[in-house]
Structure 1
Amino acid sequence: MYTDKELGIRPIKDNDLLKLWELIYQDENPEWKKWDAPYFSHRSVPYETFMEKSEVFVDSDSLWLITVNNEIYGIVTYYFEDDMKKWLEVGIVIHEGKNWGKGLGTRALKLWINHVFNTVPTVRVGLTTWSGNERMIRVGEKLGMQLEGRVRKVRFYNGEYYDSIRMGILKEEWAAKKAGTESN
């Protein structure tokens, strides 16, 4: 577990599964899905069906919970884009709108990127979002990520085209940024 005051990130345990299901799969059209790749479909899943595959969540290295005062607020993830496991991407979702706009996502993702660079043999952490999610782009910028690519008008949502946005930071850039903030 990593913490920043009242906020923490930690692996998922069995007793977290009901809340995780409620946040992610209970509703057919959850509020968070409007910002997290809304151009891809989302389906609600009955709790029993979710539990049949729940072992992939428990104690996963690549999917952790975000908690605030020990209450589950969301998830952080990482995955590899390639079979050689050289292209690593991170993701984050704060599931309830009442918790947005408070800087929690930036703080959680900072903890997660630290964890990833300390535990996964990778030289780069990437983040992919879409141009309609300006908050996620700002989070990436705050964390020192650079715009690495913009694929124009490839995401279609609510009758409008959006760009796919690729951001990233190298391990040595992260270390330099971290060293700079610790010395201030």
Structure 2
Amino acid sequence: MNIQLKGKKVTLRDFTKDDIQRMWYWEYEANDREHIQWNGPYFPREQMSMEEYTKNYIYLLEEVNNNQTRSKLVIEKDGEFIGSVGWYWVSEATKWCENGLVIYDSRYWSGGFGFDAYVMWTDYLFTEMDIARIGISTWSGNERMIRLAKKCGMIEEARIRKARIVNDTYFDSIKMGILREEWELIRKQLLDYA
């Protein structure tokens, strides 16, 4: 079964092979690659050919074929690929995952598109998975992500001081999260608003 979640501003949907190639384009070739300055800029980025990149992400197509809970979905605006949402385990044993999003095309920043996508994605994960909490990890310089997480009901749970270096400057590492029972109290309001 294909996933397609429609919000007020964007649609979240399954990846295709073409989308994996679009993601590669935004990572390595696009003129507008400002997203790299905000999305974990302290992690080294390995240059990959499109073929290598596609091999690394082919599991996204297998999730669709096997009808698994998706680990990543495309963010689409009016039929155009603008970003992606994803999640990963921090501790499967304690049912703790972290999620996030990247809007590659900066023309769609600060217009509510990320909020719409993030609310739908968080709700999808709480609906589809037996998890106790969802969190994010970011850095203190990524003020947009911190504001987005707060707007979606997450609270700051940890601040590790001077843990990230970006452009030769120290920043704090920020951990934020929301529990399932907290999400249940605000989900309808957020989904109606998004």
Normalised by the length of structure 2, the TM-score is 0.86
Identify the match of residue 140 of structure 2 among 122, 131, 139. 131
What residue identity is the alignment partner of 1:20? M
1:42 alignment counterpart = 45
Deviation at 1:27, TM superposition (A): 5.9
Secondary structure at the counterpart of residue 138 of structure 1: helix
1:19 alignment counterpart = 22
Instruction: Report if aligned partners of 1:12, 1:65 keep a CA contact under 8 Å in 2.
Output: yes
1:91 is aligned to 2:100: yes
Instruction: Report if aligned partners of 1:126, 1:167 keep a CA contact under 8 Å in 2.
Output: yes
1:73 alignment counterpart = 82
Percent of aligned positions with the same letter in both sequences?
33
What residue identity is the alignment partner of 1:131? S
What residue identity is the alignment partner of 1:98? R
1-structure distance, mates of 2:192, 2:92: 38
Instruction: Report if aligned partners of 2:123, 2:187 keep a CA contact under 8 Å in 1.
Output: no
Please list every run of 5 or more consecutive structure 2 residues that lacks an aligned counterpart in the other structure: 64-69
Deviation at 1:78, TM superposition (A): 0.6
- CA offsets 1:98-122 (integer angstroms, 9 cap, x no match): 2211111111000000100000110
Change (3 A) 1:182 1:15: closer
Change (3 A) 1:183 1:165: closer
- Alignment map for 1:124-163 (pairs within 5 Å): 124-163=133-172
1:178 alignment counterpart = 187
What residue identity is the alignment partner of 2:143? E
2-structure distance, mates of 1:121, 1:78: 14
2-structure distance, mates of 1:83, 1:176: 24
Please list every run of 5 or more consecutive structure 1 residues that lacks an aligned counterpart in the other structure: none
What residue identity is the alignment partner of 1:162? F
2-structure distance, mates of 1:53, 1:149: 31
Normalised by the length of structure 1, the TM-score is 0.91
Instruction: Report if aligned partners of 1:27, 1:44 keep a CA contact under 8 Å in 2.
Output: no
Change (3 A) 1:179 1:91: closer
- CA offsets 1:23-74 (integer angstroms, 9 cap, x no match): 1244699321100111111133211222333412325410111111111111
Instruction: Report if aligned partners of 1:10, 1:66 keep a CA contact under 8 Å in 2.
Output: yes
